[in-house]
Amino acid sequence: MNESRAWSFFVDAREAVKRLDLYLVGQAALAGQAAAKFSRAEIQRLITEGQVTLNGAVVKASARLKPGDRVEMILCPPRDAKLSAEKLPLDILYEDQDCLVLNKAPGLTVHPGAGHAGGTLVNALLHHCPDIEGIGGERRPGIVHRLDKETSGVMVVAKNAFALQKLVQQFKDRSVEKGYVAVAWGKMKPQKGVIDRPIGRHRSDRKKMSSRYFLKHSRPAVTTWTVMERFILNAGTVLARYLTLLQIQPRTGRTHQIRVHLADIGYPLVGDRLYGYTRNLQKATTANDSILGSIARQALHAEKLVFTHPRTGRRMEFIAPLADDMVNLLRRLRESDCAPPSGGFGNASNGG
């Protein structure tokens, strides 16, 4: 699969005063075969599309250089020709010339892959804003970050190469703030906590990640959590089970991070068949089908996203309303006998 390529140049005194496009024609030959194929016309096209920046800003091809200027060029390969635009519903929270923020529905795959040639968020985006074609990876045009198929919530999409570069960098340097809402099995204590455990590919199941049984390579992963509410199912019986509503802030962005961290410390997400669907939890779910049957996926929602606008530099915060299935789940828990008594096990004074 082709990937985006990037080059950085620092202008020395000998190259100063040159036009940006002419400078890059000369420098491209030094960056490798892929860049060396660019003509002046191709360089000018990249500059116009925002795939070239001068000191972090998009400028014209005629811009004159000064000693010490930093020039960055990104080569974004075109998307696979098989990708098609599809008219699918999008819940758009915000949109301008550089980015689009949306509330992804549960069950929507972000980009095409094995078994998902169409019906994805990418297909919908290509219909809504065709100009994102070729912005980023060949099968992920405009995609800055992703959510699991069954996870709902807020995402930001880049509409040009300049925005893509700036937004991706924010995720890399962790200046983006993310907030999730989740319902987990168990009575989590205390009221707040931090899970600091590296995550890697599961050593026996390649479909899973793990912070306990991973292969040699792993990456740091940190998740903070806060208890919002607690519930109990089948109170006073041998089938009694607790559930905890959590606010979660992942400080890193590893694959399946929240699901893995919670499951590996003994509090898997409600409805998570990959990481927490044990025989006992399956029995508890079946016994409470009238309540838990309202959600058929992991109870995880990306509620908040805060980032810096790639062009204006303004800090922006977006809140995505809960999907209907999570709204119904919480409503049924609160309306049933699952809600704890006033002053009971849900307050911080008694240790959670």
Instruction: Indicate the angle between helix axes 40-48 and 20-28, nearest 10 degrees.
Output: 120
Residue written as tokens 């091809």?
61
Catalytic residue among 21, 69, 148, 264: 148
DSSP 8-state assignment for residue 38: -
For residues 221 and 257, give the distance between their C-alpha atoms in angstroms, rounded to a whole number: 7
Q: Who contacts 42 (Cβ-Cβ below 8 Å, separation ≥6)?
A: none
For residues 253 and 106, give the distance between their C-alpha atoms in angstroms, rounded to a whole number: 19
Question: What are residue 307's DSSP bridge partners?
Answer: 316
For residues 293 and 273, give the distance between their C-alpha atoms in angstroms, rounded to a whole number: 14
Assigned token pair, 14: 């000998």
Q: Taking the C-alpha atoms of 62, 66, 70 and 76 in order, what is their torsion angle to the nearest 10 degrees?
A: 10
**148 in active site:** yes
DSSP 8-state assignment for residue 337: T
Residue written as tokens 């758009």?
92
> Using an 8 Å Cβ cutoff, are 227 and 250 in contact?
no
Q: Annotated active-site positions, please?
A: 148
